[in-house]
Amino acid sequence: MLPDNARELKARLSKRLSEVPPSSVAASSVDGPSRWSGVALGLTPVARGQVHLAIRLIEQADADVVLGGLDAGARDEVDVRVIGPVRPLTSPTPDELRRRGRPLRPGASVGHRDVTAGTLGGFVRRRGTEELLVLSNNHVLANSDAGVTGDPVFQPGVADGGLDTDRIGSLAAFIRFRLEPGNLVDAAVAALDPGMTTNPAGYPGGPLSAVVAAADDTDPDELVEKVGRTTGHTRGRITAVEVDGVGVQFDDAVHTFDDQVEIEGVSGGFSAGGDSGSVIWRSRDRAPLGLLFAGSTTGGSAGGGVTFANPLATVLRELDVEWFAG
């Protein structure tokens, strides 16, 4: 139909629905067929100068109520889809991420028993197995090589009040630091205790891609995002790739890393202490690409310092695990 006709139909239908208040339950419930649970109306183009009336429903049962007000001719020119409840795309606040939270979600405070706190980056699993592992840094889950397999891991981390009763699992594997230059990753995984619930798809905006960006498919100027325990959900821009000779000050030593990704925040800092372990993803296709582990306090266009990340593909290869997007 012509756009003006569709607009008129939309206005008529909208007015009729406004006279029938929505129910908190489905139209087929005890409230009877005259009530509905929610609808959105709009126009959708189908050809040059031609549109259909777009009707988006929370439940299929609403269709009878909504379409009941249309004549047979109009029913042929509507595009009806059931889309379920619509929720705001909110991001968790840092306060929420520092609290105890079950199911476990990306961005949450986590840490080895003897570490202050870092970030739960995401979930991985060993090839051919179903059990999920928590992914973060060596310096978060393995106390910078000081931990041993089986050590307890808390959520939230100790700095956020984590206690023995907040145990979620135990250190399962980590990549040791080399004293000589040429480190590639700061990475570790923790196995979950039986019955621990998880939400691997719980990133701001929904799940990340199941396909991890290849290390050589990461370009300068790409826009990226992360969610971390200290600064929450932030956006940034890759400022350099294949970065070598990155000397990083840890508690007791300086370790040098090669082939890293450098990022700056688009407005202020991209990260801060406690965000280590965050998974970084590419905004354009939500492909996970990095594991955040270090940063500077100066530099970057916005003056908030720059952040360094291991390529996630390298992390997965070194740990011999695969990404689990949920």
Shortest Cβ distance from residue 314 to another protein (Å)?
A: 15
Choose between 46 and 179: whose C-beta lies nearer to another protein.
179
Looking at residues 150 to 179 of the shown chain, list those that interact with another protein (rule: CB under 8 A).
Answer: none
CB 229 within 8 A of CB 107: yes
Among 244, 267, 285, 317, binds another protein (CB under 8 A): 244
Shortest Cβ distance from residue 245 to another protein (Å)?
A: 5
d(CA 157, CA 44): 49
Exposure on the CB side of residue 111, measured as CA atoms within 13 A? 28
Task: Tell me the two tokens of residue 119.
Answer: 């970030």
d(CA 112, CA 147): 8
Choose between 42 and 245: whose C-beta lies nearer to another protein.
245
d(CA 164, CA 157): 10
Question: Which amino acid does the sequence have at 11?
Answer: A
In sequence order, the 6+-apart residues with CB closer than 8 A to the CB of 232 are: 91, 92, 93, 94, 97, 107
Choose between 37 and 276: whose C-beta lies nearer to another protein.
276
Among 111, 157, 305, 311, binds another protein (CB under 8 A): 305
Among 96, 242, 318, 322, binds another protein (CB under 8 A): 242
Asked whether position 293 contacts another protein by CB under 8 A, the answer is yes
Q: Could you tell me the CA-to-CA distances from 81 to 26, 39, 54 in Å, in that order?
A: 16, 10, 8
Choose between 133 and 246: whose C-beta lies nearer to another protein.
246
Shortest Cβ distance from residue 223 to another protein (Å)?
A: 13
Taking CB under 8 A as the binding criterion, the range among 75-83, 101-109, 203-211, 291-299 that sits at the site for another protein is: 291-299
Shortest Cβ distance from residue 86 to another protein (Å)?
A: 36
Among 25, 220, 267, 285, binds another protein (CB under 8 A): 220
Shortest Cβ distance from residue 310 to another protein (Å)?
A: 12
Token pair 């307890």 is found at 152
Count CB-CB contacts under 10 A for residue 9. 21
Taking CB under 8 A as the binding criterion, the range among 63-71, 126-134, 163-171, 245-253 that sits at the site for another protein is: 245-253
**What sign for the dihedral angle of Cα 71, 74, 76, 78?**
negative
Q: What are phi and psi of 17, to 5 degrees?
A: -70, -30
Choose between 118 and 152: whose C-beta lies nearer to another protein.
118
Looking at residues 186 to 215 of the shown chain, list those that interact with another protein (rule: CB under 8 A).
Answer: 186
Shortest Cβ distance from residue 232 to another protein (Å)?
A: 14
Shortest Cβ distance from residue 301 to another protein (Å)?
A: 9
Among 29, 83, 245, 317, binds another protein (CB under 8 A): 245
Shortest Cβ distance from residue 244 to another protein (Å)?
A: 4
Identify the helix (H) or strand (E) that includes residue 138: helix 138-141
d(CA 140, CA 121): 11
Token pair 């291991």 is found at 310
In sequence order, the 6+-apart residues with CB closer than 8 A to the CB of 181 are: 245, 256, 258
Binding characters for another protein, 249-278, by CB under 8 A (x = yes): xxx--------x-x--------xxxxxx--
Among 154, 203, 308, 324, binds another protein (CB under 8 A): 308
Three-state SS at 43? strand
d(CA 235, CA 227): 9
Residues at the site binding another protein, with contacts judged by CB under 8 A: 118, 137, 139, 144, 181, 186, 219-221, 239-251, 260, 262, 271-276, 292-300, 305-308
